[in-house]
Structure 1
Amino acid sequence: MYKNYPILAREGWPFVALTVFLFLISIYFINSIAVCFTGIICLFVIQFFRDPQRKIVAKSNEVVSAADGRVIAIEKTNDPYNKREAIKVSVFMNVFNVHSNKAPISGKVINKIYKPGKFLNAALDKASSENEHCAITIRTPKNQIITSVQIAGLIARRILCYANEGSELKQGDRYGFIRFGSRVDHYIPINSKVKVKLGQKVENSVDILAEI
């Protein structure tokens, strides 16, 4: 379920196959405009669905980013999925970021909540509550609670979450994917020490968001 596929994410295989096919067809018919157009589309699709494996270096008490992208929010707020005060760290993914989602910490998934909704720009604050999203809550061996929320965006209209209630995740396990631009909110314990800054670019499984 959580296996990485080197080079390309399996979610992108049909898209890559289609664009490569169209590119080859345009070459066959020797249409220079079509070759350029389909070639650009093919390269874009391949880069979008790239899924590099990352080496985990974080400690067991450190929360890593579940997504590649840019930190757009760090704030004390309420975790609506677990009715507690928490620090929310939001990471926005544009179409040029890796879109695989990885477990931010090791632990057991104690709940999974999917909510249909709108498809507003994922960079907006209200996207957290109004857009389609899927949240999983992970309980660590030391009984700490981390909530990771996949949020659809203006273009991203397909959230894929492979983790279920009862799943055991290791930090860095691949648990989901969001197609074509989106956002991931992390709700971490209120007394955590945040390690990132607004505007900072982060990579999933690598960059540490907080120490709990």
Structure 2
Amino acid sequence: MKLHKESKGTLTVAITAIAVLGFLSIYFLQMWSLVVIIPLFILLGLVFWFFRVPNRDILDHKENVIAPVDGKVVMIKEVTEDEFLKEKCIQVSIFMSPLNVHICRYPVSGNVVYKKHHKGKYLVAWHEKSSTDNERTTIAVDSLLHHKVVFRQIAGYVARRIVMNCNEGDAAKAGHEFGFIKFGSRMDIFLPLDTEITCKIGDKTKGGIDVIAKLI
């Protein structure tokens, strides 16, 4: 199983901590040490699972809006995006649990025209105000159909690190990676009002694969 490059620091800390705790449990608990050691190895297995990088065949897209993350669609509504678009649009929000793949992918192809990191709170990721109050990044892409599409990585109650590996002027390719979030979080996508939404609340998404909307 291939692991994401963002796993290095976390795994180093986790393996060191588990080794120390395992040694102490053997020293002090002796025959009862398995009561501690087994849960520690389960926890380590979950950390490895969190940073997995699945093999996915990413296709080329022009009008399709691709799910940027693995997760569950928790919101589809008309809102006003005040940071970049400054107009009404359709917001599609996808919540990621700690068990989901947390690679963040471009939802559309085009050119990156805006990026910004915002410090903020750590409300639970499904909270409606997390989109404006939590630590987050905002990225805008001028799509191949010349629509401005905004998407936002949002930290959650558990997520404490957002990675955004893109710059203004970069070429965006739908389904390809631009960042990562640790551990459990949300992604918001802001689309033009005339966009054809092809997903519904409750749908499970596979990042880079599933089509969640079509630009017109």
Alignment-derived partner of residue 3 in structure 1: none
Deviation of residue 203 (structure 1)?
Answer: 1.1
- Is the CA contact (8 Å cut-off) linking 1:74 and 1:87 kept in structure 2? yes
Q: Partner letter of residue 79 of structure 2? A: T
Equivalent position of 1:72 in the other structure: 74
AA in 2 matched with 1:19: A
- 1:61-210 to structure 2, matched below 5 A, reads 61-80=63-82, 81-210=84-213
What is the CA distance between 1:151 and its match in structure 2? 0.4
Q: Distance in 1 between matches of 2:180 and 2:186?
A: 11
Give the TM-score normalised by structure 2: 0.89
Is the Cα contact below 8 Å between 2:120 and 2:133 reproduced in 1?
A: yes
**What corresponds to 1:19 in structure 2?**
14
Aligned ranges 1:31-42 → 2 under 5 Å = 31-42=33-44
C-alpha distance in structure 1 between counterparts of 2:106 and 2:55, whole Å: 13
| TM-score, structure 1 as length reference | 0.90
CA 166–95 in structure 1, closer or farther in 2 if over 3 Å, else same: same
CA separation in 1, counterparts of 2:140 and 2:155?
18
Distance 1:14 1:114, change over 3 A: closer
User: Does the aligned pair in 2 maintain the 1:131–1:152 contact within 8 Å?
Assistant: yes
Kept in 2: contact 1:27–1:35 (CA 8 A):
no
How many residue pairs were aligned?
207
Runs (4 or more) in structure 1 with deviation over 4 Å come to 21-25, 27-30
- In structure 2, the gaps of 5 or more residues are none
The unaligned stretches of length 5 or more in structure 1 are 1-5
| Seq. identity, % | 31
Larger radius of gyration: 2
Alpha-carbon separation, structure 2, partners of 1:61 and 1:134 = 24
